[in-house]
Amino acid sequence: MYIPSFDDARVAHERIKPWIHRTPVLTSETLDRMSGARLLFKCENLQKAGAFKVRGATNAVFSLTDEEAARGVATHSSGNHALSLSRAAGCRGIPGTVIMPETASRAKMRAVEGYGGEIITCKPSLEARERTLNDLVERTGANFVHPYNDHRVIAGQATCSLELNEDAGPLDAVVAPIGGGGMISGTSLTLSSIAPDTRIYAAEPKNADDAYRSFKAGHIIEDDAPDTVADGLKVSLRDLSWHFVSSYVTDILLTTEEEIIDAMRLVWERMKIVIEPSSAVAVAAILKNPDVFRGQRVGVILTGGNVDMYKLPWLAK
Amino acid sequence: MYIPSFDDARVAHERIKPWIHRTPVLTSETLDRMSGARLLFKCENLQKAGAFKVRGATNAVFSLTDEEAARGVATHSSGNHALSLSRAAGCRGIPGTVIMPETASRAKMRAVEGYGGEIITCKPSLEARERTLNDLVERTGANFVHPYNDHRVIAGQATCSLELNEDAGPLDAVVAPIGGGGMISGTSLTLSSIAPDTRIYAAEPKNADDAYRSFKAGHIIEDDAPDTVADGLKVSLRDLSWHFVSSYVTDILLTTEEEIIDAMRLVWERMKIVIEPSSAVAVAAILKNPDVFRGQRVGVILTGGNVDMYKLPWLAK
């Protein structure tokens, strides 16, 4: 297991700069008032392809040699990593293939195709997914880019808090959602090097609390069929992300489904920006724990904004 | 009738700067591709109180003498001007009173009160509104700030395209929605002085096309009970806004309800920002008229982002 260094993050930043947005840091008087803290929102919902995942995927794709790249890249994902890898492959002009369960939404598939990605569907099981991916890699020699348990991906995600730190100034704490742990790992990588006094909090849905339970137990516990509106956060930690979570995270804060949905609607209403439920988990965690953040300067990573406008969770309640 | 000058706009800008956001200018590869133009979106949906109206209201409030201000300000509005004047009065620490029809939404009333405004309700008729306002002004000496037919308000709105011009660089055209004509008047005031070659287009719902019909007829025609999802655009031109519209506007472009709703959803989905239907009218007009804008640099004024998240128009279709 290669653990990426802060140098890797700096190299990644130079490498991906031409292909990504330097997203803005926004503030909100209303949310400051409600939280009692000074919140600095890093808006990865305004990122290319609508999510921070484009950072890691782009770093992986552009770190390949020409020879490797010619054989293409592949992944399994039905979410933002699928879009991001497709886009990154398109930017480099190489094939990008995504293994998706046949149950994935048409909208997600269209979005992947819109970025030029090729889709191979398989039965919605771990076993079918692995087999389909292995077949593809064997046949084409494509480079597998895991959604988060990949040092190139984590070095890419690490560029987000590099920008946040530069643009927002010194922070007492940073809060980001946690699923597989890619963003939290990148955040840990960067902040432990350049801002070691900044506390790192992960925010997780109570209904998918495997990272929380892992953190408390001291070893990885996988989730058993989690069910949360924050569908980007259903996956479990892996060895590389566990390294960062167990070494650098101050605490993991849990939120209910209702708190997530309320926080999502609040951000749409008051900040006038579209965030997906996974991003709202971080906002909900801050509003729920005023004592942890009161009077502090807190970075909040709004991880993405890809939402089906016909399926808004507060209208389904 | 006093016609405000560009000097008035410059003075207004200095006056209101401490109280408003300098809103960002955003771009979108997707919308550029769809329109064939380079679109520069001036994001007044991210403005204080969620709309450009705070510019004019704040200019009016802060241009009062201390003696005038002490008697407070008043207006009639059930929309963004109501919020904006309430906020501006709050900033100056003076009473702000809004006459609202008793049929106005509870949400709007709560928002006005949230900004410290006082509400007087009346029957939903023009006659009741005027009488209630006159009674109030007579009783308190409050200064009446009309939502758009007021030179202080128009000088305030003029600061929006002043910033757009500085931040976006030279533009071939600017498109803004038109209702009463306050934003188009301010845009005309500024651009006719500092960028006289920039064409000015107003965008209007077909279902509330009084400005269009006025423009073609050469005199003000008032709407008869317009019904459009763009509820900020139901009001008619008045003498001061007619002066600017008839003097400086290149054309008025009409859009259907369906086009407005599609454009609104498109901006939410792809740009990840919340805009209200009135703003979407400008976007719809550009997408509908590619021949008018192809290959050009076009400023688009996204006028506001105050939306009831429980009443999204694409879900009501």
- Do B80 and B182 share a domain, yes or no? no
* Tens-binned pLDDT, residue by residue, of chain A (317 aa): 999 999 999 999 999 999 999 999 999 999 999 999 999 999 999 999 999 999 999 999 999 999 999 999 999 998 999 999 999 999 999 999 999 999 888 888 998 999 999 999 999 888 999 999 999 999 999 999 999 999 999 999 999 999 999 999 999 999 999 999 999 999 999 999 999 999 999 999 999 999 999 999 999 998 878 899 999 999 999 999 999 999 999 999 999 999 999 999 999 999 999 999 999 999 999 999 999 999 999 999 999 999 999 999 999 85
Overall number of domains in chain B? 2
**For B74-95, how does the pLDDT look when each residue is reduced to its tens digit (9 = 90+)?**
999 989 999 999 999 999 999 9
**Would the CB atoms of B272 and A274 count as touching at under 8 Å?**
yes
Q: How confident is the model at residue B106 (pLDDT cuts 50, 70, 90)?
A: confident
Q: Name the nearest CA neighbour of A25 among A134, A206, A215, A161.
A: A161
- Residue A272 with chain B: CB contacts under 8 Å: 45-46, 50, 273-275, 305
Q: Please state, as a whole number, how many other Cβ atoms lie within 10 Å of the Cβ of residue B4.
A: 24
φ, ψ (nearest 5 deg) of residue B201? -115, 135
Q: Which of B272, B273, B275, B315 to mutate to test the interface with A (most CBs of A within 10 A)?
A: B272
C-alpha to C-alpha distance for A193 and A190, rounded to whole angstroms? 5
Burial B162-182 (b: 16+ CB within 10 A, else e): bbbbeebeebbbbbbbbbbbb
- Do A129 and A22 share a domain, yes or no? no
**Amino acid symbol at B298:** V
Q: Which of A45, A265, A269 sits opposite B272 (nearest CB)?
A: A45
- Assess whether pLDDT exceeds 80 at residue B317: no
Rounded to 10 deg, the angle between the A182-194 and A239-248 helix axes is 40
- Assess whether pLDDT exceeds 80 at residue B265: yes
Which residue, A144, A160, A194, sits at the end of a domain?
A: A144
Q: B251 by DSSP, 3-state: which?
A: strand
Predicted local distance difference test score (pLDDT) of residue A78: 83
C-alpha to C-alpha distance for B201 and B286, rounded to whole angstroms? 10
Helix (H), strand (E), coil (C) string for chain A: CCCCCHHHHHHHHHHHHHHCCCCCEECCHHHHHHHCCEEEEEEHHHCHHHECHHHHHHHHHHCCCHHHHHCCEEEECCCHHHHHHHHHHHHHCCCEEEEEECCCCHHHHHHHHHCCCEEEEECCCHHHHHHHHHHHHHHHCCEECCCCCCHHHHHHHHHHHHHHHHHHCCCCEEEEECCCCHHHHHHHHHHHHHCCCCEEEEEEEHHHCHHHHHHHHCCCCCCCCCCCCCHHHCCCCCHHHHHHHHHHCCEEEEECHHHHHHHHHHHHHHHCECCCHHHHHHHHHHHHCHHHHCCCEEEEEECECCCCCCCCHHHHC
- Do A169 and A191 share a domain, yes or no? yes
**For B11-38, how does the pLDDT look when each residue is reduced to its tens digit (9 = 90+)?**
999 999 999 999 999 999 999 999 999 9
The four Cα atoms B164, B165, B167, B173 give a dihedral, to 10 degrees, of 80
B1 within a domain of the structure (yes/no)? no
Interface of B with A in 272-291 (CB under 8 A): 272-275
Predicted local distance difference test score (pLDDT) of residue B107: 82
- Do A158 and A132 share a domain, yes or no? no
Domain that holds residue B210: 6-52+150-316
Strands A25-26 and A38-43: antiparallel
B111 within a domain of the structure (yes/no)? yes
φ, ψ (nearest 5 deg) of residue B190? -75, -50
- Do A101 and A231 share a domain, yes or no? no
Predicted local distance difference test score (pLDDT) of residue A317: 53
Q: Which of B272, B307, B314 sits opposite A273 (nearest CB)?
A: B272
CATH number (domain holding residue A209): 3.40.50.1100
- Residue A310 with chain B: CB contacts under 8 Å: 314-315
Which residue, A124, A144, A164, sits at the end of a domain?
A: A144
A167 within a domain of the structure (yes/no)? yes
Q: Pick the range with the lowest mean pLDDT from A66-70, A219-223, B60-64, B294-298.
A: A219-223
- Do A166 and A259 share a domain, yes or no? yes
B148 burial type by CB count under 10 A (0-12 exposed, 13-18 middle, 19+ buried)? buried
Strand partners, B203: B177, B253
Strands B25-26 and B38-43: antiparallel
Which residue, B116, B144, B172, sits at the end of a domain?
A: B144
Query: What is the mean predicted confidence (pLDDT) over B43-50?
Result: 96
- Do A122 and A169 share a domain, yes or no? no
Q: How confident is the model at residue B230 (pLDDT cuts 50, 70, 90)?
A: very high
State what percent of residues in chain B have pLDDT above 90: 93
Q: B220 by DSSP, 3-state: which?
A: coil
Q: Please state, as a whole number, how many other Cβ atoms lie within 10 Å of the Cβ of residue B260.
A: 29
Q: Which of A42, A272, A302, A306 to mutate to test the interface with B (most CBs of B within 10 A)?
A: A272
- Assess whether pLDDT exceeds 80 at residue B147: yes
B250 within a domain of the structure (yes/no)? yes
Q: A116 at the B interface (CB within 8 A)?
A: no
Which residue from A minimizes the CA distance to B311?
Answer: A315
- Do B85 and B67 share a domain, yes or no? yes
Q: Please state, as a whole number, how many other Cβ atoms lie within 10 Å of the Cβ of residue A169.
A: 11
A1 within a domain of the structure (yes/no)? no
- Do A222 and A245 share a domain, yes or no? yes
Q: What ipTM score was computed for the predicted complex, to two decimals? A: 0.93
